[in-house]
């Protein structure tokens, strides 16, 4: 397929990135809860984005995302992800503490 050694690394890198993305998508489809996806529907996400004034995408003069908008969006994703996983995190910490106290290594 590739005769040149200088392009071989590039093609191997692209193939590895493609395999990683494919594995992540496969993991998501196999292990995601349908009830969780329905509970976190796009309408509630749209309402949350609108409440944070992020529902309108802001672009700069060069056509790329505005840096301030991107920072606010990144912050929104981080905080909403933490809120969504807070119960699972607390449960895991409680289980870890119980095992630590009982010296169940």
Per-residue pLDDT 10s for the chain (105 aa) are 445 576 787 778 888 888 887 787 777 777 776 655 555 555 687 888 888 888 888 888 888 888 888 888 888 888 888 888 899 999 999 999 999 999 877
- CA angle 42-43-47, nearest 5°? 115
pTM of the model: 0.48
Indicate the domain borders of the chain. 1-32, 41-105
Q: What is the DSSP string of 48-89?
A: HHHHTT-SS--B-TTSSBPHHHHHHHHHHHHHHHHHHTHHHH
CA atoms of 24 and 30, how far apart (whole Å): 10
């Amino acid at each position: 397929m590739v005769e040149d050694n200088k392009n071989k690394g590039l093609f191997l890198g692209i193939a590895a990135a493609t395999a990683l993305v494919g594995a992540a998508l496969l993991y998501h489809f196999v292990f995601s809860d349908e009830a969780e996806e329905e509970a976190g529907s796009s309408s509630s996400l749209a309402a949350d984005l609108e409440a944070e004034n992020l529902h309108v995408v802001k672009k700069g003069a060069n056509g790329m995302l505005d840096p301030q908008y991107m920072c606010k969006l990144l912050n929104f994703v981080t905080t909403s992800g933490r809120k969504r996983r807070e119960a699972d995190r607390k449960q895991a910490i409680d289980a870890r503490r119980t095992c630590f106290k009982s010296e169940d290594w």
